[in-house]
């Protein structure tokens, strides 16, 4: 009741900027005499929080109150964040008790302060502007023949009474869908461990689209791979060039291909050839509308939700080997120092010579005789690519570009079941493609930035001073240092990463540097790219799976034709695509996490190694080395002592003096796992408890 009263007071005072007395507030809110004491306490609490001011017996919402609108992002642990519209602030932390009933994706208004308990923006949801989700997902419970519902996205673990339809007969523990307004059961998805249920839950939870409209599919079917003679005349013909795609073993959509030649003066001619999706997907079409709505393709283990129908993404637009395709080519003349001496951009016609894989190319780099014999015609070009990529990487490092060697999980399946979790293998063949794509993206951005037209940049703002200040404190704990926050550049952070390379603290320090950075987003305003140390940058190389790339292709075509760019409201396109990209990444991460936690259920009682990544009210947060997920060691499991935080980085036992610090390596035992809530309980192995200092 108090939370509801707080929001009512704030909403009222926002409307009545002139301020109101206690009595007028009580009257406006229809407060009963017996509730006036609660009203006084609530007003006093809002005063203490700085949300409400009291002057001469009048209550006000401060004129300069930090009030923003944004999208609510919930966490599995109850609290959430709000990503402000327009990126006017970094994400605002919302404690569970102040979420105001908002669910993931809702557009909310938030009153916040710049510095919360952890020195970062913290606030409360004042109102829900738009309820994006009409339905909620959660666990069905039954007690004394009464139905209850435990929502996934709710900030508390309270069960809500539920109305069931007669034709639906869920069992206790099943995942169900409920109408948000009526709390009526609408669908039964199944038990959490039933095949495919986790994927369906994540798709619905993140409002992802898994099918296309009849109109969009009909447009896709009308697209033909046949290239007209007129279109061939308007394109540069590179069909006789040795061009290859290099992708993962299981890739199905090939939207980028590369070629390289050595010029007489010793320079390189790099060709980056990208599927010309804009040739088929026109503005105003159903295909374009649905691609925009999705913003990006979503990649789950064994399932892809494509941005475009498969007829386009896996067939007509895909740069299949030895098939004619329309493309958009970037040609870069690059010297031995990695400097681009000349750039050209052409709608083109290509025929790739081979579909290569990262593993195969890496074997060739490593001198594998069998692989070199198999692709003998391409080996010289591939080795040239390796040489050029190394030059480009060296130049990028010299400029201060940040490269994180953080491993990502890959789920290995055998006979339909998850067999193991292994680190995703990233080799030099991956680096070749990454360097070439970065070079093409930068070249396009640099070319367009000189034309003074509306454009979508890929921007990465510098870290906030507060984040750098906190990072500096953590680094000092390891004997590392960075300049004062106002003077920190990407080169300084790069030096830190180099300094810990190969050391036991490398993973932890790299994570802390990564956490200090802001998210890269799309923007109509060029703000540079801090992480890549680039003044201009965009996304051009993946139009099959990213909508901004498609927009960039259209803009570049119009510039080359000397037409005036017709794309309007690119700021809204950039904002929408940034939000959808983040939503997709979180969905991908959640499903992988869910499956890893479920896999670990079969390893209860096993021993693991990990590092302390946080110290919270609940205990030590430890990330397991081989599984990319973290769990909690509660204070009660640290062994007969009262622990206190001497600093944000150190926990000390008051009686024994035992000490635990961020970055410490521990051996732990897995004692509990909840895959749905992504929670895991750990305890120290007895030997470690004896050795703990």
Separation CA 666–CA 335 (nearest Å): 49
Half-sphere exposure of 188 (CA within 13 A, CB side): 16
Check residue 682 and report its DSSP letter. E
pLDDT greater than 90 at residue 487: yes
pLDDT greater than 70 at residue 494: yes
pLDDT greater than 90 at residue 616: no
In angstroms, what CA-CA distances link 93 with 74, 80, 299?
10, 6, 28
| pLDDT of amino acid 251 | 85
The CATH number of 604-691, from 2.40.50.140, 2.30.30.140, 3.20.20.150, 3.40.1390.20, is: 2.40.50.140
Structure tokens at 524: 């109509």
Match 């130049």 to its residue by tokens.
395
- Who wins on pLDDT, 77 or 257? 257
| pLDDT of amino acid 157 | 66
Please give the span between the terminal C-alpha atoms of the chain, in angstroms, as a whole number. Answer: 47
Judged by average pLDDT, the poorest of 159-173, 386-400, 460-474 is: 159-173
| pLDDT of amino acid 693 | 47
Q: If you average pLDDT over residues 618-643, what whole number do you get?
A: 88
- Residue 334: count other Cβ atoms within 10 Å of its Cβ: 22
Separation CA 188–CA 539 (nearest Å): 40
| pLDDT of amino acid 132 | 83
Same CATH topology for 2-60 and 66-130: the answer is no
- Find which of 167-181, 329-343, 472-486, 664-678 is predicted with most confidence, using mean pLDDT: 329-343
- Tell me the per-residue pLDDT of 275-320, one tens digit each, with 9 for 90 and over: 999 999 999 999 999 999 999 999 999 899 999 999 999 999 999 9
CATH number of 66-130: 2.40.50.140
CB 667 within 8 A of CB 673: no
**Contacts (Cβ under 8 Å, ≥6 apart) of 64:** none
- Taking alpha carbons only, the member of 16, 84, 6 closest to residue 51 is 6
pLDDT greater than 80 at residue 585: yes
pLDDT greater than 80 at residue 675: yes
CB 635 within 8 A of CB 653: no
Separation CA 303–CA 313 (nearest Å): 14
Structure tokens at 629: 């997920």
Taking the CA atoms of 617, 618, 620 and 621 in sequence, report the sign of the dihedral they define.
Answer: negative
Match 């081979």 to its residue by tokens.
354
Domains of the chain, residue spans? 2-60, 66-130, 135-191, 229-461+523-589, 465-517, 604-691
CB 455 within 8 A of CB 570: yes
DSSP secondary structure string for all residues of 579-590: HHHHHHHHHHHH
Give the helix ranges, DSSP H, for 263-375.
286-294, 310, 358-365, 369-374
- Find which of 89-103, 395-409, 584-598 is predicted with most confidence, using mean pLDDT: 584-598
The arrangement of secondary structure in 135-191, i.e. its CATH architecture, is: Beta Barrel (2.40)
The rounded mean pLDDT for the chain is 89
CB 576 within 8 A of CB 292: yes
pLDDT greater than 70 at residue 77: no
- Who wins on pLDDT, 135 or 55? 135
pLDDT greater than 50 at residue 82: yes
- Tell me the per-residue pLDDT of 189-242, one tens digit each, with 9 for 90 and over: 999 999 999 999 999 999 999 999 999 999 999 999 899 999 899 999 999 999
Separation CA 551–CA 307 (nearest Å): 14
Using pLDDT thresholds of 50, 70 and 90, give the confidence band for residue 448.
Answer: very high
- Taking alpha carbons only, the member of 406, 410, 404 closest to residue 592 is 410
Check residue 86 and report its DSSP letter. G
Using pLDDT thresholds of 50, 70 and 90, give the confidence band for residue 688.
Answer: very low
| pLDDT of amino acid 3 | 63
**Contacts (Cβ under 8 Å, ≥6 apart) of 22:** 39, 40, 43, 57, 59
- Find which of 538-542, 564-568, 574-578 is predicted with most confidence, using mean pLDDT: 538-542
Match 């050209």 to its residue by tokens.
344
* Cross-strand partners of 140: 149
| pLDDT of amino acid 274 | 98
- Tell me the per-residue pLDDT of 136-154, one tens digit each, with 9 for 90 and over: 899 999 888 888 998 887 6
Judged by average pLDDT, the poorest of 115-124, 340-349, 400-409, 527-536 is: 115-124
Q: If you average pLDDT over residues 81-103, what whole number do you get?
A: 80
| pLDDT of amino acid 111 | 79
CATH number of 2-60: 1.10.10
Categorise residue 549: left if φ over 0, alpha if ψ from -120 to 50, beta otherwise: alpha
């Amino acid at each position: 009741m108090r939370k509801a009263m707080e929001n009512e007071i704030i909403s009222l005072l926002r409307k009545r900027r002139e301020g109101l007395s206690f009595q007028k507030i009580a009257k406006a809110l229809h407060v009963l005499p017996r509730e006036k004491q609660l009203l006084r306490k609530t007003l006093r609490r809002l005063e203490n929080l700085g949300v409400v001011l009291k002057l001469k017996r009048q209550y006000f919402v401060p004129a300069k109150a930090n009030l923003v609108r944004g999208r609510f992002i919930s966490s599995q642990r109850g609290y959430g964040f709000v990503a402000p519209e327009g990126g006017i602030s970094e994400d605002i932390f919302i404690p569970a008790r102040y979420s105001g009933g908002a669910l993931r994706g809702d557009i909310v208004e938030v009153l916040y302060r710049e510095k919360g308990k952890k020195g970062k923006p913290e606030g409360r949801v004042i109102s829900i502007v738009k309820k994006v989700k009409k339905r909620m997902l959660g666990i069905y419970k039954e007690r004394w023949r009464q139905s209850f519902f435990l929502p996934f996205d709710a900030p508390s673990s309270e069960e809500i009474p539920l109305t069931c339809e007669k034709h639906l007969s869920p069992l206790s523990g099943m995942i169900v869908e409920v109408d948000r307004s009526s709390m009526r059961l609408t669908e039964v998805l199944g038990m959490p461990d039933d095949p495919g249920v986790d994927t369906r839950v994540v798709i619905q939870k993140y409002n992802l689209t898994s099918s296309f409209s009849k109109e969009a599919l009909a447009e896709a079917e009308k697209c033909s791979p046949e290239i007209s003679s007129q279109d061939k005349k308007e394109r540069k013909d590179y069909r006789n060039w040795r061009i290859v795609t290099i992708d993962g073993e299981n890739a199905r959509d090939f939207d980028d291909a590369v070629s390289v030649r050595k010029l007489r003066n010793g320079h390189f001619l790099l060709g980056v050839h990208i599927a010309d999706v804009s040739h088929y997907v026109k503005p105003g079409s159903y295909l374009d509308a649905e691609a925009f709505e999705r913003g990006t393709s979503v990649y789950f283990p064994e399932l892809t939700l494509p941005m475009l129908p498969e007829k386009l993404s896996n067939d007509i637009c895909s740069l299949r080997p030895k098939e004619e395709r329309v493309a958009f080519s970037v040609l870069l003349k690059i010297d031995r120092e990695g400097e681009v001496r000349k750039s050209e951009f052409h709608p083109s016609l290509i025929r790739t010579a081979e579909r290569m894989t990262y593993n195969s190319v890496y074997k060739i780099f490593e001198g594998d005789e069998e692989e070199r014999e198999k692709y003998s015609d391409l080996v010289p070009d591939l080795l040239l690519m390796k040489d050029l990529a190394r030059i480009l990487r060296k130049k990028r490092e010299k400029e201060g570009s940040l490269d994180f060697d953080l491993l990502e999980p890959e789920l290995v399946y055998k006979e339909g079941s998850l067999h193991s979790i292994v680190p995703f293998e990233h080799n030099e063949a991956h680096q070749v493609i990454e360097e070439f794509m970065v070079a093409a993206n930068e070249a396009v951005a640099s070319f367009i930035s000189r034309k003074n037209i509306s454009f979508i940049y890929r921007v990465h703002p510098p870290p906030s001073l507060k984040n750098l200040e906190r990072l500096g404190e953590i680094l000092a704990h390891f004997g590392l240092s960075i300049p004062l926050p106002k003077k920190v550049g990407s080169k300084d952070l790069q030096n830190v990463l180099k300094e810990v390379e190969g050391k036991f603290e490398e993973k932890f320090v790299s994570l802390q540097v990564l956490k200090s950075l802001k998210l890269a987003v799309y923007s109509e305003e060029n703000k540079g790219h801090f992480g890549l140390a680039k003044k201009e940058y965009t996304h051009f190389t993946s139009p099959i799976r990213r909508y901004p790339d498609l927009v960039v292709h259209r803009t570049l075509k119009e510039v080359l034709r000397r037409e005036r760019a017709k794309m309007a409201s690119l700021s809204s396109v950039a904002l929408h695509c940034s939000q959808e990209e983040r939503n997709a990444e979180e969905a991908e991460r959640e499903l992988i996490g869910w499956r890893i936690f479920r896999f670990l259920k079969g390893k209860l009682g096993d021993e693991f190694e990990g590092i302390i990544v946080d110290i919270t009210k609940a205990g030590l947060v430890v990330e397991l080395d081989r599984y990319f997920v973290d769990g909690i060691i509660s204070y009660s499991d640290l062994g007969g002592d009262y622990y206190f935080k001497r600093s944000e980085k150190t926990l000390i036992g008051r009686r024994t003096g035992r000490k635990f610090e961020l970055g410490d390596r521990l051996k732990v035992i897995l004692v509990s796992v909840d895959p749905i809530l992504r929670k895991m309980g750990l305890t120290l192995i007895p030997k470690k408890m004896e050795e703990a200092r």
